[in-house]
Amino acid sequence: MATRKRSELELLMQAHLEDVDELAGFQIEFEFWPGRKFAFDFAWPSVMLALEVEGGRWGGRHTSGPGFDRDCRKYGEAICRGWTVMRVTDEMIYDRTAVNNVIRTYRRLLRESDGQEIRERTNAELRKIYSPVAGEGDRSLLEKKTVKSKTKSVETGTRKTGSTTTRPRKS
């Protein structure tokens, strides 16, 4: 992936991260999905922690329809592959909430890993995890079902269990 010009917010975040010795070794523009143009602004691959600087809250690529959709797909895929993705805003960078949250999350991930390097799940492992019945390949747990209301049609996820279809429980 070609290196793009870093924003002022990303440069400020980088300076904050470089001030913290225990966060040393982070990677910039880390491609977590080879072959796709998805890259994290900052990443600690050994604990699978990613940091995304969300600029343009009041207009810009991240808040446009296609940009927002692309970001959601990227974050969703990263989470499915085992990454912890942190998103930070300009205010969080300015008041140092962002760097403090990164420190806390990094420490938690280190504790949870017991010092062992966390690794990304392979596509085969992902298929096994998300397949409802062993051997069903890439079939998804969730299927789309259209629910019609008086004013509009809304797509919702449904979970297939045996011969019945139920809606996912609300958290």
What is the crossing angle of helices 97-113 and 8-18, to 10°? 50
pLDDT (tens digit, 9 = 90+) per residue, 72-95? 889 999 999 899 999 999 999 999
pLDDT (tens digit, 9 = 90+) per residue, 102-146? 999 999 999 998 767 666 656 566 555 555 444 443 434 443 333
Q: What is the pTM of this model?
A: 0.64
8-121 CATH choice from 3.60.20.10, 3.40.440.10, 3.30.1360.120, 3.40.960.10: 3.40.960.10
The b/e string for 102-132 (b: 16+ C-beta within 10 A; e otherwise) is beebbeebbeeeeeeebeeeeeeebeeeeee
- Name which of 141, 147, 148 is nearest 168 in CA terms: 141
Domain range annotation of the chain = 8-121, 125-166
Phi, psi of 62 (to 5 degrees): -70, -25
